[in-house]
Amino acid sequence: MPQQKKILLWSRKGCHYCEEIKEFFERNEYEYTAIDVEGKDYLRDILELKYGIRHVPVVEIGSNHIFQGVIEKDFMLIESLIAGRNVTVG
């Protein structure tokens, strides 16, 4: 049986795009973990190291410590990654 994908949402309070993604996850009953970067420069440093950006939202989807990041509000890409379909980003 395939392992369920873990979903991480890097976000901050007051971010309109972050709220849209949260609503998308909740509407589709996707369980996710929110990581609030508000006032936490060390978390933004992590995003910069991983993706070359310091802004949110960033969605990470994966399992077994292998995650793929989505740095744009692309619901079709997010759904594809959750479903486990092979997707080339970039």
| Residue 4 pLDDT | 78
pTM for this prediction: 0.87
Q: What is the CATH number of domain 6-81?
A: 3.40.30.10
Helix axis angle, 75-83 to 16-27, nearest 10°: 40
Identity of the amino acid at 54: R
Cβ distance 11 to 57 under 8 Å?
Answer: yes
**14-72 per-position pLDDT tens digit:** 999 999 999 999 999 999 999 999 999 999 999 999 999 999 999 999 988 889 999 98
Domain boundaries, the chain: 6-81
Q: What is the 3-state secondary structure (H, E, C) of 27-90?
A: HCCCCCEEEECCCCHHHHHHHHHHHCCCCCCEEEEEECCEEEEECCCCHHHHHHHHHCCCCCCC
